[in-house]
Amino acid sequence: MGLTELYSLPQRVRTAENSSVERRVPEAEPELWFRLRRFNSNGADLNRGFPDAFAALRQQNVEPEVRAVIDWLKTETFVLSANLHGGALVASYPYDNSNGGKPSAIRVSAPPAGSQLTVSSVSAGPELVGRASITPDDDVFVHLAKVYSYSHAWMSRGDMCKENRPFQDGIINGYQWYPLQGGMQDFNYVWAQCLELTLELSCCKFPPPEELPALWMDNKKALLAYIQQVHLGVKGRVFDGSGVPVENAVVEVGGRQDLCPFRTNQYGEYYRLLLPGNYTFTVTTTNTNSLFFKVSENLHLL
């Protein structure tokens, strides 16, 4: 988006754009478009190739393209993202996989800059609710998906692609749609502390070039509305008694037991996307010191 177009937008949109850092990957699977197929030259489906918490951390020998994304995620604190696909018109949200609804789930941990994934067993409630695989932040994910679908020209209707099932409100839980292992949106949420949706933006998997301008207009408002959601909830910094930022402090929200705890980055920063409400935070540093505080999040939805 050019500067001229940006500054013709409403003030709230310009504020969100000017107070956020955005990163775009034009194509994570370049061979997909070159050869009109979803597999790379090694015959691997890159969107099924990320380490999967529900698959006992299998798929550690990842493809180079996947490894590049994983390494990139360690370099910055990403908060909100979207994975753009074609072939349907729906906003899909995590989880894409599950542990079968067992009452004892694994918990994984990895410092943001670390490469070693560790696993411990904890008591966590079953993530399966009906036929959906629900994250601890399901309320936020549903909100994010609806923001996109209802800001889109047609998505919220849920019935625009005749070859697909209807989608209520134009959104769907990934596992409820079809289970898959190794998806990027689950990986980003579990290990990168980044809430990600998979946005299916066209009924045609490979739309012809002449349709792209119309697709942009269908999605422009929704993309801008989605970007604004990065400022939902609570953000802050953790310092020690000397005023030095604390890295890798665990920041937990009461009632939301994540598979991998959210942690502060090298600047002591943390970001938790939350809907308006009352929350209890627990911040624990590496020397096991803990701080409890309550937050009343009464900001308007963006």
Is-catalytic flag, 200? yes
CA 103 to CA 171: how far, in whole Å?
27
Of 127, 200, 247, 252, the active-site residue reads: 200
| DSSP-assigned beta bridge partners for residue 7 | none
User: How much is the CA Rg of the chain, to the nearest whole Å?
Assistant: 19
In angstroms, the first-to-last Cα distance of the chain is: 21
Cis peptide before 189 (omega within 30 of 0): no
CA angle 42, 189, 38 (to 5 degrees): 25
What is the amino acid identity at position 302?
A: L
Show the 3-state SS of 96-135: CCCCCCCCEEEEEECCCCCCCCEEEEEECCCCEECCEECC
CA 83 to CA 72: how far, in whole Å?
15
43 φ/ψ sector (left φ>0, alpha ψ -120 to 50, else beta): left
In which residue are the tokens 């949200």 written? 93
Active site residues: 200
